[in-house]
A and B are shown apart, each in its own frame.
Chain A
């Protein structure tokens, strides 16, 4: 499961930036089309952060809605899965939001 290696690189990035300070919170933004499941990430975070300065940190995951823009009819609509299909029938859809997989900020004590 790739969430574990993603969490590992998340923890590495936070440790690089925070030195030895205790991390109390980690804020992420994970879109529904990113390929990463927030619940799996939370689970992996608890396991992988144990014994580090991130142990017990509050993981806050902002989950923005996915939005697509149809290049055929110009419609801007909600995307709930990776099947990029505009209600007009066109599959020529640009993903505007939803692919976010971001470490936004960390809170240190």
Chain B
């Protein structure tokens, strides 16, 4: 089922607060997600319209057996992600009440999210008073790296799930218990597909793409780049060795998303980090514009890129 590990998402996510070394050690079992057949659905072409059914009963049928009812069409008219969106709005309210800014960090596996966070916390940790909620399918390795940098971290293991959802974030926030006026970084599961659709209640979505992944990522994973408020191109120190055209990549992103801001940096050498710290401080430098003008904003961000 899942593109990453091939199993279902029914394993319950597990949340581990800090100071629980090795708490993630038990594995999750895959027994439920497999063995289904693919021939179960029929695509029969007959389609009757129900548009003139205007009567609507409330279906709170107390005896629940259904047999005594005539067939009925019940209008629902709701977003399929309505439940997650509602929980995300609750998170947003909770975060606003504490004046906590939550940033949802997303990328492919290995683009450098944890490296960037560790570096950021080491340099700004006390100023931002930041904590981290780490989402991974398994292990608490990333949370351990954050704790080694001296900041609180909560690990959420999604098991078979390939993204964090609003309910998992709520549980992570309960465990992290961030102080007033602080920042919470949410490191989402490394995946450019699924996390794009799930609002967590965050203040901004930050997408990290590394130069070793190829500059065609925006075309391959458009939804992620559409959702982004900030796109970070990481591992700029490797640009001399790889065939990655920053200009081309930024153009592709701009075609999907007229408002995203761009930063090019190296989390390991520290090159370009100052602009990221400025962004975190809420200073929008003249190189990052929110206007939709393709050429203007690109030229400006490209000047910044090199």
Contact = CB atoms under 8 A, between A and B. Distances in A.
A binds B: yes
B84 interface: yes
A105 B83 contact: no
B77 interface: yes
B2 interface: yes
Contact of A13 (B8, B65, B83, B193): B83
A17 B59 contact: yes
Interface in A41-62: 42-47, 53, 58-60
B101 interface: no
B238 interface: no
A64 interface: no
Contact of A108 (B69, B84, B198): B69
Which of A17, A46, A103, A105 has the largest count of B CB atoms less than 10 A from its CB? Answer: A105
Interface residues of B, number: 52
A38 to B, nearest CB: 10
A45 B256 CA distance: 30
B294 A21 contact: no
Interface string B72-116: 111111111111100000000000000000000000000000000
A9 B36 CA distance: 20
A55 to B, nearest CB: 10
A57 B74 CA distance: 14
Interface residues of A, number: 49
B1 interface: yes
B80 A18 contact: no
A98 to B, nearest CB: 12
Nearest to B222: A82
Contact of B1 (A4, A45, A91): A4
Nearest to B42: A58
A71 B258 CA distance: 12
Interface of B: 1-3, 8-9, 36, 38, 40-41, 44, 47, 50, 59-61, 64-66, 69, 71-84, 161-163, 165, 193-194, 196-198, 219, 222-223, 226, 254-256, 258, 292, 294
17 contacts: A1-B193, A2-B198, A4-B1, A4-B8, A9-B84, A20-B66, A44-B1, A47-B1, A47-B8, A47-B36, A60-B47, A101-B79, A103-B77, A103-B79, A105-B75, A108-B69, A108-B72
